[in-house]
Amino acid sequence: MSAIPFGVIGVGHLGAIHARIASGLPELKLIGVFDLDLSRSQKIAKACNTKAFTSLSQLLRQVQAVSLVVPTEHHYQVGTKALKHGAHLFVEKPITSCSDQATDLIHRAEQSGRVLQVGHIERFNPAFQSLSGYSLSPLFIESHRLSRFNPRGLDVSVVLDLMIHDIDIIHSLIPSPLDSIQACGVGVVSTSEDIANARLEFANGAVANLTASRISAKDMRKMRLFQSKAYLAIDFLDQKSEILHLDQAPIPQDIAATCIGNIGVGEQSQSIYLQTPPAIPTNALEQELTSFAQSIVHNTQPVVTGRDGLRALQTAEIILKEMSRRQELSAKKAGL
Residue of 65, 114, 67 whose CA lies nearest to 92: 67
Which of residues 179 and 219 has its CB atom nearest to ligand NAD in the complex? 219
Which of residues 221 and 245 has its CB atom nearest to ligand NAD in the complex? 221
CB of 162 to ligand NAD, least distance (A): 9
Q: Which stretches of the chain are DSSP H helices?
A: 13-24, 38-47, 56-62, 75-84, 99-112, 126-129, 158, 164-173, 284-298, 306-333
Which of residues 121 and 210 has its CB atom nearest to ligand NAD in the complex? 121
Task: List interacting residues with ligand NAD (CB under 6 A).
Answer: 9-15, 34-37, 40, 69-72, 74, 78, 92-93, 119, 121, 152
CB of 62 to ligand NAD, least distance (A): 16
Q: Minimal CB distance to ligand NAD: which residue?
A: 12
Residue 226: strand, helix, or coil: strand
Kindly provide the residue ranges of all beta strands, DSSP E only, lying in 106-251, ordered along the sequence.
116-119, 140-148, 178-186, 195-202, 207-216, 220-227, 230-235, 240-247
CB of 122 to ligand NAD, least distance (A): 8
CB of 42 to ligand NAD, least distance (A): 12
Cα distance between residue 275 and residue 277, in whole Å:
6
Cα distance between residue 313 and residue 298, in whole Å:
28
CB of 273 to ligand NAD, least distance (A): 34
Residue of 277, 305, 308, 281 whose CA lies nearest to 291: 305
CB of 174 to ligand NAD, least distance (A): 22
Which of residues 76 and 202 has its CB atom nearest to ligand NAD in the complex? 76
Which of residues 96 and 275 has its CB atom nearest to ligand NAD in the complex? 96
Residue type, 3: A
Which of residues 201 and 286 has its CB atom nearest to ligand NAD in the complex? 286
